[in-house]
Chains A and B, each alone.
Chain A
């Protein structure tokens, strides 16, 4: 039986449907649900239900939220750039006319020194001048200014177009250097090659969003500034046409490269294209968003030939001058390029869709580097990979440097920071440089991840080794930045510089583990295509966590620095622990770790509790709610509500996850006599500690080590309730039950005891750190010994009671 092959339109529809499904189903949110296709699942009774995918990381909605934000931001930035370009061209033309007048009539005088500094060789509408999100039509006062503006705008659009083309071949293009090429498989269908090529071209042209965030707003603002009456439809149409130009270019060059280069060479090409795109992006940003529009750019705009506006990509500006004729010409040009590109690609494929029969030949490099690196184990393999895969090298090492350079270019003020700003900047550099590589610790393994699992190395150790490479690299970057900025800022105090270096190094090292942890938690190695780029939502999450360390860098005193280091280290370890929990199940498509209480739960509970408590306190104290309660009542109420909400919600969350909460918190009573003994022990320990605490307070008063707040007095029932009932109940669940319980799973008991006690101390005032720390240690030891949380609560309660009431 032979069937009539589908026509071109049918092929286009089929492949378009495929692209659409890929877009729709790509989102983790959709994957998280059980999916059945209507009519298919019920086709017969025998079909088994589709396997439930692993839970998503729940952050997909962030991206959806971000999109309109991005759109608004790009509209704002382009608006600003266009307004300033307009002002600059006017100023430039004014200065030139003064100069020309001086040549014609010497009596009027050459441009004076007063004119020069006004523009300083750089022509700027300062930021904030005359600025709207939608650029108003400009009134051109200087002769020639409008023409210069058009030429400069055309240059900008052309640069942007080149950037988009370069991005098309950059690292984000998985099809370019992937092992399999879908085109080759599609060729085994009885469909004309032309249809397949056409479908690919359409996909490349239409399924892209970057031009819509860059080209479209810029064109729109430029047209508005030029007073084009149909700016919006013209800009949208022009962008659509330009996406076809970019898509055609991508189609043709990709086909050509695929057929003529080895995979290794393709990777190098990708690296080069990413670099080119970055350079062009830096150029666009530098010109349009720098402190001023450079004069060489305005010169270039003046010197550029008039036909420039008719060139591909820039022709939309010709619409402002020549109207419909320009639009027709542009669309015609685009159509022509598209037709040429598709037919040329079809012709290329007429010589076969593959370069080699079997193994990709000619892809061997020198063996030397590998010989040396082999001794380093997993880390050595990664280093060899880094040096060989130039695309990866560019993505991970050069991109961060470029991004930082770009920031400095756009905000030159950044380079002149002083004091704690230097350390913060250096830390920021470290953070940036982690994005490329550290987020890829596992994703870079791609489909060969299973090999790591087959080695006689604990998978957690392999991950640690891999993370160390990127952490080292990032710390180096940060230190270089620190040194450079310190020298530039004239900082000579070696001691404080050393402290800064230590602090920054510690922060970056922790951040590396946060990045690696997030990437492991968010990575799905079972996907057929593992993306080589970090997901945006993971990067946002990483920045959110990592930015908490800025607090410690910002403060100059020791105590808050220590506290921040501790909290930040705990956060990093919490994320790391959770990642390690997940590691053994990473290659399993459906199963997830059976979870016990993790440090992550403790950290999250603490965060929720303190935020809630702070919020409620503010609301109650200011009388926004609760109608003017006395201060101590407000504090008590805030504490109780926040504590109850946190504890209850975490108990619910943990139970739903299948954790035996009663067991974990040691609330399951089995032996009445043991309970009595445990409670007595706790009570006794608490009273003893309270005595020590009183002695310590006495010593502090005598020696004047700290300024103590005035004693609140014993007549406050609320304070007593807070200290003796509420605080022990809530804080013991959080610090002993969740934090200590989470820690003790993966570190030795003494370390877990000290760690949780230190965390407990650092949420208290500095003056009380030593006795509170001691109390934390004892409570943790009691909890560990008895596995009965109320005993620890009794330690806490009796300690507080003694200190307050005696």
Chain B
């Protein structure tokens, strides 16, 4: 079972975060906090606003209202400052076609101001753990989906970030690497990294994460430790039951 949620000072803070695209409200009045060393799972059906939230956290999208801060810096206004402490794994990592895996990692490291030797050492270490060291000299175009994910993960963890934002990280990974990744994530969290973990795998979220936030139609539908959610929303059930409970409630509302 997961450890109890760390209760340190919050590193990531979302306050009434809202994003509108014209009429459509993608994220509605979302308030969340992630503490140092905490793993927060972001759950929700497709189109619930997970990726939009993450993109606002990454300073790629500007919030329509509300704020997102990392370590007290505004994710949007202070993007460059925030990015020093954040590592990001996009849902569909894209790479330069003309660079090899190792070169992409070096580029990412250099863009973060890391000395080249440190990048190479860290890349080797991560590649070894994630089992793609033999592919570092390959062009990234030749990578499979899982390999891309591994490379992107290594790029996100290169600089030992304070906050790690992972958008469906285990999607496309084999069970061995998934296990390694989860161990890595736990290790990082134990060392104080706050982890923002978006996923569709409820069981994984239940086992790995300290707290769970369920988004539905842009709004925060439920937030708490898995135990709390279960006892509140689906006594005697699993997180899956909680998830369907939340989704059904909303469906019932819509039907009325």
Interface residues of A (CB under 8 A from B): 1-6, 10-11, 14, 18, 21-22, 25-26, 36-37, 40-41, 44, 46-51, 180, 184-193, 350-358, 361-362, 526-529, 589
Ranked nearest first, the 6 interchain pairs of A and B with the lowest CB-CB distance are A357-B52, A190-B83, A352-B62, A528-B97, A190-B84, A25-B98
Q: Return chain B residues, CB-CB under 8 Å to A356.
A: 21
Mark out the residues of chain B between 144 and 193 whose CB falls within 8 Å of any chain A CB in the assembled complex. 159-160, 162
Mark out the residues of chain B between 96 and 124 whose CB falls within 8 Å of any chain A CB in the assembled complex. 96-100, 102-103, 107-108, 110-114, 124
Asked if A50 and B100 sit within 8 Å, CB to CB, the answer is: yes
Which residue of A26, A50, A527 is within 8 Å of B138 (Cβ)? Answer: A50
Residue of B nearest to A352 (CB): B62
Asked if B137 and A354 sit within 8 Å, CB to CB, the answer is: no
Which residue of B98, B108, B141, B162 is within 8 Å of A189 (Cβ)? Answer: B108
Q: Please measure, in the bound complex, the distance between the C-alpha atom of A356 and the C-alpha atom of B27, giving whole angstroms.
A: 12
Residue of A nearest to B62 (CB): A352
Can you pick out 26 interface pairs between chain A and chain B where the beta carbons lie within 8 Å of each other?
A3-B159, A6-B110, A18-B96, A18-B107, A21-B98, A26-B98, A36-B137, A37-B137, A46-B133, A48-B138, A50-B100, A180-B94, A187-B59, A187-B60, A188-B88, A189-B112, A190-B80, A193-B79, A352-B59, A352-B61, A358-B47, A361-B21, A527-B97, A528-B95, A528-B97, A589-B141
Q: Please measure, in the bound complex, the distance between the C-alpha atom of A26 and the C-alpha atom of B98, giving whole angstroms.
A: 7
Asked if B97 and A354 sit within 8 Å, CB to CB, the answer is: no
Chain A, interface SS category? loop
Q: A3-B159, A47-B134, A51-B138 are in contact. Are A357 and B110 (CB under 8 A)?
A: no
Q: A10-B110, A48-B135 are in contact. Are A5 and B80 (CB under 8 A)?
A: yes
Asked if A47 and B133 sit within 8 Å, CB to CB, the answer is: yes
Which residue of B24, B84, B110, B162 is within 8 Å of A14 (Cβ)? Answer: B110
Q: Please measure, in the bound complex, the distance between the C-alpha atom of A116 and the C-alpha atom of B82, giving whole angstroms.
A: 75
Q: How far is the CB of B151 from chain A (nearest CB, A)?
A: 14
Asked if A14 and B134 sit within 8 Å, CB to CB, the answer is: no
Which residue of B49, B86, B97, B160 is within 8 Å of A529 (Cβ)? Answer: B97
Interface flag for B211 (CB, 8 Å):
no
Which residue of A6, A46, A188 is within 8 Å of B134 (Cβ)? Answer: A46
Query: Apart from A2-B162, A352-B62, A354-B61, what 12 extra A-B contacts exist at CB < 8 Å?
Result: A6-B110, A11-B111, A37-B102, A47-B133, A51-B139, A180-B94, A184-B60, A351-B62, A353-B61, A357-B26, A528-B94, A529-B97
Taking each of A189, A350, A528, which has the highest tally of chain B beta carbons within 10 Å of its own beta carbon? A189
Q: Please measure, in the bound complex, the distance between the C-alpha atom of A192 and the C-alpha atom of B82, giving whole angstroms.
A: 11
Q: Please measure, in the bound complex, the distance between the C-alpha atom of A311 and the C-alpha atom of B108, giving whole angstroms.
A: 42
Interface flag for B90 (CB, 8 Å):
yes
Q: Return chain B residues, CB-CB under 8 Å to A352.
A: 59-62, 76
Q: Return chain B residues, CB-CB under 8 Å to A36.
A: 137
Residue of B nearest to A526 (CB): B141
Asked if B60 and A353 sit within 8 Å, CB to CB, the answer is: yes
Taking each of A2, A357, A526, which has the highest tally of chain B beta carbons within 10 Å of its own beta carbon? A357
Residue of B nearest to A36 (CB): B137
Q: Return chain A residues, CB-CB under 8 Å to B139.
A: 50-51
Asked if B97 and A5 sit within 8 Å, CB to CB, the answer is: no
Q: Return chain B residues, CB-CB under 8 Å to A1.
A: 159-160
Asked if B141 and A40 sit within 8 Å, CB to CB, the answer is: no
Q: Please measure, in the bound complex, the distance between the C-alpha atom of A51 and the C-alpha atom of B137, giving whole angstroms.
A: 9
Interface flag for B230 (CB, 8 Å):
no
Q: Please measure, in the bound complex, the distance between the C-alpha atom of A213 and the C-alpha atom of B88, giving whole angstroms.
A: 43
Q: Return chain B residues, CB-CB under 8 Å to A187.
A: 58-60, 79
Q: Return chain B residues, CB-CB under 8 Å to A11.
A: 111
Counting residue pairs across A and B whose Cβ atoms lie within 8 Å, the total is 143
Q: Please measure, in the bound complex, the distance between the C-alpha atom of A41 and the C-alpha atom of B82, giving whole angstroms.
A: 35
Residue of A nearest to B96 (CB): A18
Asked if B102 and A6 sit within 8 Å, CB to CB, the answer is: no
Q: Return chain B residues, CB-CB under 8 Å to A41.
A: 137
Interface flag for B228 (CB, 8 Å):
no
Q: How large is the interface on B (under 10, 10 to 19, 20 to 34, 35 or more residues)?
A: 35 or more
Residue of A nearest to B134 (CB): A48
Q: Please measure, in the bound complex, the distance between the C-alpha atom of A180 and the C-alpha atom of B95, giving whole angstroms.
A: 11
Residue of A nearest to B49 (CB): A357
Asked if B58 and A188 sit within 8 Å, CB to CB, the answer is: yes
Q: A1-B160, A22-B96, A40-B102 are in contact. Are A191 and B83 (CB under 8 A)?
A: yes
Q: Return chain B residues, CB-CB under 8 Å to A190.
A: 80-84, 111-113
Interface flag for B36 (CB, 8 Å):
no
Asked if B84 and A5 sit within 8 Å, CB to CB, the answer is: yes
Interface flag for B19 (CB, 8 Å):
yes
Q: Return chain B residues, CB-CB under 8 Å to A192.
A: 80
Q: How far is the CB of A55 from chain B (nearest CB, A)?
A: 16
Interface residues of B (CB under 8 A from A): 19, 21-22, 24, 26-27, 47, 49, 51-52, 55, 58-62, 76, 79-86, 88, 90, 94-100, 102-103, 107-108, 110-114, 124, 133-139, 141-142, 159-160, 162
Q: Return chain A residues, CB-CB under 8 Å to B62.
A: 350-352
Q: Please measure, in the bound complex, the distance between the C-alpha atom of A36 and the C-alpha atom of B136, giving whole angstroms.
A: 11
Q: Please measure, in the bound complex, the distance between the C-alpha atom of A22 and the C-alpha atom of B99, giving whole angstroms.
A: 8
Q: Please measure, in the bound complex, the distance between the C-alpha atom of A612 and the C-alpha atom of B27, giving whole angstroms.
A: 73
Asked if A2 and B136 sit within 8 Å, CB to CB, the answer is: no
Q: Return chain B residues, CB-CB under 8 Å to A49.
A: 137
Q: Return chain B residues, CB-CB under 8 Å to A18.
A: 96, 99, 107
Q: Return chain A residues, CB-CB under 8 Å to B103.
A: 37
Asked if A354 and B55 sit within 8 Å, CB to CB, the answer is: yes
Q: Return chain B residues, CB-CB under 8 Å to A361.
A: 21-22, 24
Q: Please measure, in the bound complex, the distance between the C-alpha atom of A187 and the C-alpha atom of B99, giving whole angstroms.
A: 19
Q: Please measure, in the bound complex, the distance between the C-alpha atom of A5 and the C-alpha atom of B81, giving whole angstroms.
A: 9
Asked if B114 and A3 sit within 8 Å, CB to CB, the answer is: yes
Q: How far is the CB of B110 from chain A (nearest CB, A)?
A: 5
Q: How far is the CB of B220 from chain A (nearest CB, A)?
A: 16
Asked if A3 and B60 sit within 8 Å, CB to CB, the answer is: no
Q: Please measure, in the bound complex, the distance between the C-alpha atom of A787 and the C-alpha atom of B26, giving whole angstroms.
A: 71
Q: Return chain A residues, CB-CB under 8 Å to B137.
A: 36-37, 40-41, 47-50
Q: How far is the CB of A46 from chain B (nearest CB, A)?
A: 6
Q: Return chain B residues, CB-CB under 8 Å to A44.
A: 124
Q: A6-B113, A528-B95 are in contact. Are A357 and B21 (CB under 8 A)?
A: yes
Asked if B90 and A185 sit within 8 Å, CB to CB, the answer is: yes
Q: How far is the CB of B139 from chain A (nearest CB, A)?
A: 7
Which residue of B21, B99, B141 is within 8 Å of A21 (Cβ)? Answer: B99
Q: Return chain A residues, CB-CB under 8 Å to B76.
A: 352
Q: Return chain A residues, CB-CB under 8 Å to B95.
A: 528
Residue of B nearest to A527 (CB): B97
Q: Please measure, in the bound complex, the distance between the C-alpha atom of A193 and the C-alpha atom of B60, giving whole angstroms.
A: 11
Q: Return chain B residues, CB-CB under 8 Å to A6.
A: 110-113
Residue of B nearest to A1 (CB): B160
Q: Return chain A residues, CB-CB under 8 Å to B51.
A: 357-358
Q: Please measure, in the bound complex, the distance between the C-alpha atom of A44 and the C-alpha atom of B162, giving whole angstroms.
A: 31
Q: Please measure, in the bound complex, the distance between the C-alpha atom of A560 and the C-alpha atom of B124, giving whole angstroms.
A: 68
Q: Please measure, in the bound complex, the distance between the C-alpha atom of A192 and the C-alpha atom of B59, giving whole angstroms.
A: 12
Q: How far is the CB of A153 from chain B (nearest CB, A)?
A: 40
Q: Return chain B residues, CB-CB under 8 Å to A527.
A: 97, 141
Q: Return chain A residues, CB-CB under 8 Å to B138.
A: 48, 50-51
Q: How far is the CB of A231 from chain B (nearest CB, A)?
A: 38
Q: How far is the CB of B133 from chain A (nearest CB, A)?
A: 6
Q: Please measure, in the bound complex, the distance between the C-alpha atom of A51 and the C-alpha atom of B147, giving whole angstroms.
A: 15
Q: Return chain A residues, CB-CB under 8 Å to B162.
A: 2
Q: Return chain B residues, CB-CB under 8 Å to A14.
A: 107, 110-111
Q: Please measure, in the bound complex, the distance between the C-alpha atom of A41 and the C-alpha atom of B21, giving whole angstroms.
A: 48
Residue of A nearest to B103 (CB): A37
Taking each of A3, A51, A527, which has the highest tally of chain B beta carbons within 10 Å of its own beta carbon? A3
Q: How far is the CB of A359 from chain B (nearest CB, A)?
A: 8
Taking each of A180, A186, A188, which has the highest tally of chain B beta carbons within 10 Å of its own beta carbon? A188
Which residue of A48, A188, A589 is within 8 Å of B60 (Cβ)? Answer: A188
Q: Please measure, in the bound complex, the distance between the C-alpha atom of A44 and the C-alpha atom of B124, giving whole angstroms.
A: 10
Q: Return chain B residues, CB-CB under 8 Å to A189.
A: 83, 108, 111-112
Q: A2-B85, A47-B137, A51-B138 are in contact. Are A354 and B98 (CB under 8 A)?
A: no
Taking each of A46, A49, A187, which has the highest tally of chain B beta carbons within 10 Å of its own beta carbon? A187
Residue of B nearest to A362 (CB): B22
Q: Return chain A residues, CB-CB under 8 Å to B86.
A: 188
